[in-house]
Amino acid sequence: MSETPTSELTEVEVKSRLLDMKSLDNPKAMKLYRRFDGIIILVLFMFLILGIQIHFTLTAGDWDYWIDWRDRRWWPLVAPFSLLLFIGPFAYGFWARVRLPIAATVITLLLCAVSWLSRYLNFYEFTHFPMSFVFPSTYIGLGILLDCALLITRSLLASALIGGGLFGALVWPLNWSFMAASKVPVELNGTLLSVADLMGYQYIRTTTPEYLRIIEESTLRTFGGSVTPLTAVFSALCGMVIYGIFLWVGSRINRLDIYTKRIV
Amino acid sequence: MKKLKMKKVGVSSLLAGLVLVLLAGDVLAHGERAQLASMRMRTVHWFDTKVEPLNVKVGDVVTVTGKLVTSEWWPQQLASIEDTVYLNIGVPGPTFLRLHSEVNGVPMMRSTAFPLGKVYEYKTVMRARIAGRYHVHPILNVKDSGSLVDKGTWLEVAESDSTAPFTNEVTTLLGDTIDLETYGLGAVYTWHLIWLAIGLAYILYWLLRKELFIPRFLRIRHLGQDRANEIITKKDFVAGGLFFTLTLATILGGYLWAENKYPITIPLQTGKVEVTPIEVPTGDLEVVVDSASYALAGRSLSMRLKVTNHGDSPLRISEFLTANIRFLNPKVTESEIYPGEEMVAKEGLTVSVNVIEPGKTVEVELVASDALWEQYRMTGMINDPDSRFAGLVFYYDDNGERFYQEVGGSILPTFF
């Protein structure tokens, strides 16, 4: 974060900052600050809820819409990749400006809320898909881990390594608690299917044919059937890198305030 | 004055919007007319499409059957059906449950590939799920080309006599009978609520405090980045540790709970299946297109054909099928029109030679003419990047047996 060293401040600026600090002991000023905080919360709420919904829909949409898209290899990579690149800049801003380690939790929480709203209204009420086929995934636990890693280590770099890694690695176990049921085997016309595959076949999607799904397409074939742990390790590595890169992007964005000051 | 004007504009816009919303009708079709004319003429020829029955109740079974021929005149600029194709059904979302689908007897849960110039028989069995009036189309989703849609058939689905909610029960390989309409939702709701509660608790821990954004910003600016961490208290640190531990424990707990509840699970299944084309009797007529033209003003397609009858039975041309439109020769009465069938020009085909005698080669002029050309936007042929056409010519022998041959070639527009 760019910050003018105290030694470079003018006398007026130093006095102004001291007055700002004194205002924190003034109940009237604090009341005003709380009102401003309320406005900030409202603006952030609107911006983040719309932002994450549009961003996640564009980058990971179908993976989160349908349970027959959430495979062991691509979904645990695509989802954290998409989320971390959105969270990174906000996490940096919240930490650098106000030392609030809440960006990841807020964003994943809002994504979960807006996803439920969308699935219920658009998918269930409007287009008649059963909720058992279109329920959203959850990433709230990953958001908390990312924020807490920052809070405990008080270091953005360490949080990228620990939090970013956990964010990537734990997508599958976090969601397995309510997704396992959809992977129970069934049979149709002599073909083995999971319940999710069967639902994808039975609940007709005219423009989402079966071949659009990307199921376990990759070259990670070593270690036999250990697809899930292998993907978790790879996703953890990706999480660290992506989160690190987008924290850096956040730091660049935060430096833009020098241009504001110049204009003023 | 300016404010009043703005107000008037605002109110008028609002009213106009309201009128538009009220006037808007239901979306009832799948936009098949919007596809390029050449795409409809030269990709897949659908025929003998039957939807039975046409009036059902929720819970009843509907069967869609028919045949299709993959065109040998497939446009070069379009990804081929020889790579990946999926038999689908065009209904408004899951208003029906697809129970079974097959092509040439092979179940079609998965994608396949169709060589060009072959004939396939398809069948889709569905169970009505939501009451309404639907335009049902067989569809082939072709990878990188999009959906190729057959003509639609209207289907009425009335409410079920039973007041019980719709169920979709299946038995898993573990022996449990489950209702897919609601399967697993208890765990979904419970775990989502748990995570929402933990997430909200964490956020509220930070938001419900005396000093939030502006006071913290002022303090950090006063302290400088080197000392900014001082505003994180020991209590915050402990809370962070507790939330971290609680979250990890809940993830692990949820995972183990699910592993215990569903010990046998499999990954998502995928793959392609192979379908062998069926053999159909080849007729004795050899048809060669000499020339073809399309009259923009006359809504008709004319073909000059050289036709040879290699058999020993007289043959009669009964029908020309292209872009799902059937042009029937009224002089040949064997052609069947199925209940609810659309896009049929009953007297749309004129054939200059009615009977092609055995061993003879004759020049025949075929004129397919009807307002359906306009209605189904076939006039757009003039805008196609590759002005060629294709279609099926159906003919009958003396025994009433039907044969077909695909014809195609360049087509020239005539403007006057």
- Contact with chain A for residue B34, Cβ under 8 A: no
CB B215 within 8 A of CB A36: no
- B9 confidence band (pLDDT: 50, 70, 90): confident
Q: How far is A63 from chain B (nearest CA, A)?
A: 13
Instruction: Please tell me which residue of chain B has the smallest CA distance to A166.
Output: B248
Which residues of chain A are within 8 Å of residue B175 when distances are taken between CB atoms?
Answer: none
> Cβ contact (<8 Å) for A151 and B200?
no
Question: Could you tell me if the ipTM is greater than 0.90?
Answer: yes
DSSP-assigned states of every residue in A127-168? T---HHHHPPP--HHHHHHHHHHHHHH--HHHHHHHHHHHHH
- Point out the residue among B93, B147, B268 whose CB comes nearest to the CB of A128: B93
User: Residue A224: pLDDT above 90?
Assistant: no
- Check residue B132 and give left, alpha or beta (phi > 0: left; psi -120 to 50: alpha): left
User: Residue B336: pLDDT above 90?
Assistant: no
What is the C-alpha to C-alpha distance for residues B147 and B135, in angstroms, rounded to an integer?
16
Q: How far is A151 from chain B (nearest CA, A)?
A: 6
> Cβ contact (<8 Å) for A189 and B109?
yes
Instruction: Please tell me which residue of chain B has the smallest CA distance to A172.
Output: B255
The tokens for B170 are 């299946």
CA-CA-CA-CA torsion sign (B113, B119, B124, B130): positive
CB B72 within 8 A of CB B116: yes
- Check residue B100 and give left, alpha or beta (phi > 0: left; psi -120 to 50: alpha): beta
The gap from C-alpha B14 to its chain's centroid, in whole angstroms, comes to 36
CB B149 within 8 A of CB B90: yes
- B1 confidence band (pLDDT: 50, 70, 90): low
- Contact with chain B for residue A221, Cβ under 8 A: no
User: Residue A220: pLDDT above 70?
Assistant: no
CA nearest to A146, candidates A179, A174, A115: A174
What chain A holds in terms of domains, given with CATH numbers, is: 60-263 (1.20.1450.10)
Overall average pLDDT of the A58-75 stretch: 92
The gap from C-alpha B275 to its chain's centroid, in whole angstroms, comes to 20
> Cβ contact (<8 Å) for A197 and B111?
no
- B35 confidence band (pLDDT: 50, 70, 90): confident
- Point out the residue among A99, A181, A209 whose CB comes nearest to the CB of B183: A181
Q: How far is B125 from chain A (nearest CA, A)?
A: 10
- Point out the residue among B190, B247, B264 whose CB comes nearest to the CB of A144: B247
- Contact with chain A for residue B182, Cβ under 8 A: yes
Instruction: Please tell me which residue of chain B has the smallest CA distance to A44.
Output: B213
CB B127 within 8 A of CB B59: yes
% of chain A exceeding 90 in pLDDT: 75
pLDDT at residue number A222: 60
Which residues of chain A are within 8 Å of residue B129 when distances are taken between CB atoms?
Answer: 128
Overall average pLDDT of the A36-60 stretch: 95
Instruction: Please tell me which residue of chain A has the smallest CA distance to B97.
Output: A202
CB B394 within 8 A of CB B329: no
- Point out the residue among A30, A145, A199 whose CB comes nearest to the CB of B180: A199
CA nearest to B238, candidates B205, B279, B210, B269: B205
pLDDT at residue number B373: 85
CB A232 within 8 A of CB A166: no
User: Residue B185: pLDDT above 50?
Assistant: yes
Strands B132-142 and B153-158: antiparallel
Residues 60 to 79 of B: which have CB under 8 A from any A CB? none
- Point out the residue among B107, B139, B190 whose CB comes nearest to the CB of A191: B107
> Cβ contact (<8 Å) for A202 and B188?
no
The tokens for B282 are 């080849």
DSSP-assigned states of every residue in A22-83? HHTT-HHHHHHHHHHHHHHHHHHHHHHHHHHHHHHHHHHHHHHH-GGG--SSSHHHHHHHHH
Which residues of chain B are within 8 Å of residue A102 when distances are taken between CB atoms?
Answer: 202-203, 206-207
- Point out the residue among A68, A98, A207 whose CB comes nearest to the CB of B216: A98
The tokens for A225 are 């059937």
- Contact with chain A for residue B254, Cβ under 8 A: yes
pLDDT at residue number B25: 58
- Point out the residue among B109, B147, B241 whose CB comes nearest to the CB of A193: B109
For residue A252, what are the contacts with CB-CB under 8 A and spacing of at least 6? none
User: Residue A22: pLDDT above 60?
Assistant: yes
For residue B329, what are the contacts with CB-CB under 8 A and spacing of at least 6? B316, B317, B318, B319, B335, B349, B350, B351
Overall average pLDDT of the A77-84 stretch: 96
The tokens for B348 are 């749309």
CB A56 within 8 A of CB A82: yes
What is the C-alpha to C-alpha distance for residues B237 and B274, in angstroms, rounded to an integer?
61
Residues 241 to 260 of A: which have CB under 8 A from any B CB? none
A·B CB contacts under 8 A: 304
Which residues of chain B are within 8 Å of residue A98 when distances are taken between CB atoms?
Answer: 212-213, 216-217, 220
> Cβ contact (<8 Å) for A206 and B269?
no
User: Residue A1: pLDDT above 50?
Assistant: no
User: Residue B267: pLDDT above 50?
Assistant: yes
- Point out the residue among A34, A97, A135 whose CB comes nearest to the CB of B220: A97
What is the C-alpha to C-alpha distance for residues B47 and B297, in angstroms, rounded to an integer?
28
CA nearest to B293, candidates B277, B305, B279, B284: B305
- Contact with chain A for residue B157, Cβ under 8 A: no
What is the C-alpha to C-alpha distance for residues B367 and B299, in angstroms, rounded to an integer?
10
pLDDT digits (tens, 9 = 90+) for A227-256: 888 889 999 999 999 999 999 999 999 888
